[in-house]
């Protein structure tokens, strides 16, 4: 009998833990205040629960953790989230950080992210963590994510949600956008359909790792423009391991942007080594896929759009290691010193 009671109690505890982990904490509608104030959540600040914000003005100025962040689930509200500290969302869910989830009423959600790191990961869910502006079913939601200052958005996937929804906008006018996997459903950048990198830095893959990402996918193509003053960062770990972009779309424009190249793990390329870091799923064949000279490139490197399939049209961004003469002199002196020491 005691054994049965013990088993029953363990079952109750496990059920309790499971229900707690899946619970949702909802921001008190209309409140203006701090995320860390329990009163704004009806008594308990979400941590191991889903945080839901439908209507109100929320400030995150201290480190917070939640399983999932959903905004605009109940339609008709106006929600503003001001982030200046670290916020982590981590749960096995299709829409981990969704700005507008409603589909039945006009809803307005704005995220102003000026400092701190927003980390969006989904362990156990296909290895993805999606920051989605609008749920795919929503036709009435207005969602705006403003990245600025020293802020970092670190996410596996950045999705517009609904490609045809022109009221979903991601504005990166500063800070760093870390894309680990994919950006898609934004359509043509030239049509202003949802994405503006501005002067932000684009980091491909986790910081200080070599990773490949895609713009668009097999069913959602997108063109891409780096805004004047923007910064693209490519990490290179070896001749066969570097950050790369595969683009489903027709055009890319890098004019006016800064290109930063980081070598990882002490790797130094041989002179003349080149890395094709940006290619197109379909070579256009009718016009240049890529264009625009960078405003500046890390010393010792050149960057240019080149033709790799001999059709006279540029389809690939190639980085070539050509160290400056002064660097070569220092390298020669170093090798000479090593040789003398061996003698």
Strand, coil or helix: 14: helix
Query: pLDDT category, 127, cuts 50, 70, 90?
Result: low
Q: Which of 156, 216, 155 is nearest to 184 (CA)?
A: 216
By residue count, the chain amounts to 343
- Position 194 scores a pLDDT of 78
Residue 334 has pLDDT above 70, yes or no: no
- Position 11 scores a pLDDT of 43
DSSP 189: G
Query: pLDDT category, 187, cuts 50, 70, 90?
Result: low
State the Cα angle at 213 between 258 and 163, rounded to 5°: 95
Query: pLDDT category, 284, cuts 50, 70, 90?
Result: low
Q: Name 15's Cβ contacts closer than 8 Å, sequence gap at least 6.
A: none
Q: What are phi and psi of 17, to 5 degrees?
A: -65, -45
Contact assessment for residue 199 and residue 151, using Cβ atoms and an 8 Å cutoff: no
Q: Please give the structure tokens belonging to residue 31.
A: 């409140």
Query: pLDDT category, 150, cuts 50, 70, 90?
Result: very high
Contact assessment for residue 154 and residue 117, using Cβ atoms and an 8 Å cutoff: yes
- Position 306 scores a pLDDT of 93
Query: pLDDT category, 218, cuts 50, 70, 90?
Result: confident
Highest mean pLDDT among 133-147, 183-197, 277-291: 133-147
Domain spans of the chain?
Answer: 27-196, 210-343
Cα–Cα distance between 132 and 72 in angstroms, integer? 12
DSSP 227: P
């Amino acid at each position: 009998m005691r054994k049965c009671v013990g088993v029953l109690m363990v079952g109750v505890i496990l059920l309790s833990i499971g229900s707690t982990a899946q619970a949702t904490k909802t921001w008190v509608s209309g409140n203006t205040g701090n995320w860390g104030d329990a009163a704004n959540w009806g008594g308990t600040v979400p941590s191991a629960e889903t945080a839901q914000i439908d209507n109100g003005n929320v400030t995150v100025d201290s480190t917070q953790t939640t399983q999932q962040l959903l905004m605009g689930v109940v339609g008709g509200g106006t929600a503003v989230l001001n982030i200046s500290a670290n916020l982590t969302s981590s749960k096995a869910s299709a829409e981990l950080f969704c700005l507008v989830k409603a589909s039945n009423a006009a809803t307005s959600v704005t995220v102003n992210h000026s400092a701190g790191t927003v980390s969006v990961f989904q362990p156990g869910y296909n290895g993805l963590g999606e920051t989605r502006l609008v749920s795919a079913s929503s036709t009435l939601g207005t969602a705006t994510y403003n990245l600025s200052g020293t802020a970092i958005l670190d996410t596996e996937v950045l999705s517009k949600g609904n490609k045809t929804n022109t009221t979903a906008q991601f504005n990166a006018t500063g800070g760093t956008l870390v894309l680990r996997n994919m950006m898609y459903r934004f359509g043509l950048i030239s049509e202003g359909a949802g994405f503006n990198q501005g002067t932000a830095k684009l980091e491909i893959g986790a910081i200080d790792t070599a990773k490949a990402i895609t713009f668009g996918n097999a069913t959602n193509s997108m063109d891409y423009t780096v805004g004047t003053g923007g910064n693209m960062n490519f990490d290179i770990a070896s001749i066969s391991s570097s950050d790369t972009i595969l683009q489903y779309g027709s055009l890319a424009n890098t004019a006016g942007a800064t290109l930063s190249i980081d070598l990882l793990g002490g790797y130094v390329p041989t002179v003349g080594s080149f890395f094709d870091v940006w290619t197109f799923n379909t070579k256009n064949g009718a016009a240049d896929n890529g264009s625009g000279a960078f405003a500046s490139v890390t010393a010792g490197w050149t960057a240019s759009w080149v033709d790799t399939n001999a059709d006279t049209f540029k389809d690939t961004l190639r980085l070539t290691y050509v160290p400056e003469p002064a660097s070569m002199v220092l390298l020669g002196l170093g090798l000479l010193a090593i040789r003398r020491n061996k003698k």
